[in-house]
Structure 1
Amino acid sequence: MATEESAGRRPTLVFIHGTNANAYGWTGLITELTLRGHRCLALDLPGHGDRQFIPHAYQAPQDLEALATEPSPLAGFTIDDYVDHVVRVVRRARRLGPVILVGSSQGGVTVSRVGNAVPELLERVVYVAAYCCVDLPNMVSYLETPENSESLLHLIEALKVGDPAALGVSRLNWRSADPAALSAIKRCLAGDFTDDAVRRLAAVLEPDETATIPRSEARGEAHTWGRIPRTYVRFTEDRLIPPALQDRFIAEADRLTPDNPTDVRDIAAPHVGPFHRPELVAVLAELAGRPE
């Protein structure tokens, strides 16, 4: 939604990570885009990245009994905290020119809510294999649809420690010594990654994520979010958000805003695969336009 003030100025790509993740996951992608002359920044959502919480019982040697009950400060965060944080950054970035907001996986919830809140500040929203709720109110609702039937999310759910209702967070033991854990991460998230690459992935994923986000209202609204040009990058080998569910998100969005259809791009990769691959770099570089 370019304005006269921002027309002709270089856009800033603002990246929002998914669940149990942080800004670090975008590093390879941002490095390549920056070297091509594009302006980029990746955000750590509240309670993530430099401010993530690592339970004492999570460290080696792990104490699984204590890990199941150790309190987490992330229990106090809500989707409104995520949205407020992103909006503040977008407002600052908007002073430099247009803003393209990019979200992956659960980050799509924040993208949609920011789009509802400040559509006038966004040049485009981009969903990178992300949840894009339209007809149904939240992520959990879509997990129960036929289009999600082939998801391997249940393999990751098996890594949960403790009761999310009691902890206020979804706590995953990425560092489990059980060989099945490595297999679950690879099958659901990483596809063709080597075992060493999967171990590196597990080392940077965060144990805690605010439990309320999947049940938070996340629908894009036609009169706000629906006015913003949008791109959906489909990961055709995704086993966490199956292509059928990604297609449902796209179809629902297009029915809501028939005059603003989704720009769809396909990449043959698993859920976390393309963040260091040239295909996604090429898509985002094209959307950002030729740098000065």
Structure 2
Amino acid sequence: MQPTYVLVHGAFANSFSFAPLQAELGLLGHRSVAVDLPGHGFAATFPLAYQAPQDAAGLAEAPGAIKGVTLADNAAHLIGVLERAKRNGPVVLVSHSRGGVTATAAANARPDLIDRIVYVSAWCPVDLEVNAYYAEPEMATVDAAAFGPALAGNPAELGVLRVNFRTAQPEVLAALKAAFLADGTDDEFRAFLNTYQPDENLDAGTSADRARADTWGRIPKTYIRLADDASLPLALQDRLIREGDALTPDNPYDVHTLAGSHLKWLVTPAPAAELLAKLVD
């Protein structure tokens, strides 16, 4: 029976970024569903102050619908999608970047709904909470301070993490491109940036949301490394793989590698689609 690929986006992203990948999967004969987590996609907030000409003061204060959304909310929403997809046959759960945290939480809760879980340069915390990994040596090459000028408002006051992706500051755009799509053209980068939404929720999980051997660990799992990823470095990807393998030595990751940056596999999706298809073909 043909599987359904359920695709889970990362921070500030949404289902729109998966459209080219879904087209490639469809042309290979595979069905897929791209998920919008709560507060994403058409449920996202785009304040009027975010439009041109921008109102920086208004953008820093405008409320966001994603305020208060938790990782538990994300996992519950994803589980609802998985339940519906499972009625039609096997399910391959594919997550990218921060979407891996939600995928892991769903797998911890309902491993019966997932026939294979795939992480594409995605977070699958095992030994630490997600935020704690940022202080580890594997993340030393990530210059989080470079994104400071793009922040809009105080997260503690807004209740959301808000980034002005429509900034025209050359140095901020250069930092974002270096982090996410250094191997893309400027036009590709700006096109992708315009699919992003300004707000993301603040809950990246606690120790209770780390991968569990008794549930998550029962699911066949694949990790697709992105060799040139600057925002989730290869060293961190490899550490997550090692930690997962140590947690479930009898069910290690099936590991593959794609060339490219954090977003290149979505901008040029044919290689990724072919790899995902081979996992079930």
Instruction: Specify if TM > 0.5.
Output: yes
Letter of the 1:70 partner, please give it: A
- The answer for the alignment partner of 1:228 in structure 2 is 219
**Among candidates 82, 107, 110, match of residue 118 of structure 1:** 110
**Among candidates 263, 267, 274, match of residue 265 of structure 2:** 274
- The answer for the alignment partner of 1:51 in structure 2 is 43
CA apart distance, 1:214: 5.8
- The answer for the alignment partner of 2:93 in structure 1 is 101
- Find out whether 1:212 has 2:208 as its counterpart: no
Matches within 5 A, 1:21-40: 21-40=13-32
Separation in structure 2 between the aligned mates of residue 35 and residue 282 of structure 1, nearest angstrom: 10
SS at match of 1:241: coil
**Among candidates 60, 78, 84, match of residue 70 of structure 2:** 78
Q: Is the 8 A contact 2:6 2:91 kept in 1?
A: yes
Q: Is the 8 A contact 1:119 1:225 kept in 2?
A: yes
Quote the sequence identity (%). Answer: 44
State the Cα deviation string for residues 144-189 of structure 1 (Å, max 9, x = none): 1111111244433441111111111100000012111221121000
**Among candidates 175, 182, 194, match of residue 173 of structure 2:** 182
State the Cα deviation string for residues 55-110 of structure 1 (Å, max 9, x = none): 12111111111111111121121111111111011001101001110100000000
- The answer for the alignment partner of 2:131 in structure 1 is 140
The CA RMSD over aligned residues, in Å, is: 1.3
Cα pair distance change 1:179/1:274, threshold 3 Å: same
Separation in structure 1 between the aligned mates of residue 262 and residue 200 of structure 2, nearest angstrom: 18
Q: TM-score, normalised by structure 2?
A: 0.96
Letter of the 1:232 partner, please give it: Y
SS at match of 2:209: coil
Moved more, 154-163 or 54-63: 154-163
Q: Is the 8 A contact 2:126 2:240 kept in 1?
A: yes
Q: TM-score, normalised by structure 1?
A: 0.93
Separation in structure 2 between the aligned mates of residue 70 and residue 217 of structure 1, nearest angstrom: 32
Letter of the 1:194 partner, please give it: T
State the Cα deviation string for residues 23-76 of structure 1 (Å, max 9, x = none): 011111110101111011101111111111101211111111111111112112
Separation in structure 1 between the aligned mates of residue 212 and residue 69 of structure 2, nearest angstrom: 23
Report the count of equivalent residues: 280
Letter of the 1:81 partner, please give it: D
Q: Is the 8 A contact 2:131 2:204 kept in 1?
A: no
Separation in structure 2 between the aligned mates of residue 216 and residue 27 of structure 1, nearest angstrom: 33
- Find out whether 1:60 has 2:52 as its counterpart: yes
Gaps of 5+ in 2: none
State the Cα deviation string for residues 226-259 of structure 1 (Å, max 9, x = none): 1101111101100000000001000000000000
Q: Is the 8 A contact 2:71 2:205 kept in 1?
A: no
Separation in structure 2 between the aligned mates of residue 250 and residue 212 of structure 1, nearest angstrom: 23
CA apart distance, 1:281: 1.2
CA apart distance, 1:216: 7.5
Separation in structure 1 between the aligned mates of residue 206 and residue 46 of structure 2, nearest angstrom: 24
SS at match of 1:101: strand
Separation in structure 1 between the aligned mates of residue 115 and residue 148 of structure 2, nearest angstrom: 36
State the Cα deviation string for residues 190-241 of structure 1 (Å, max 9, x = none): 0111111111112111100011226675311000001101111101100000
Gaps of 5+ in 1: 1-8
Q: Is the 8 A contact 1:78 1:212 kept in 2?
A: yes
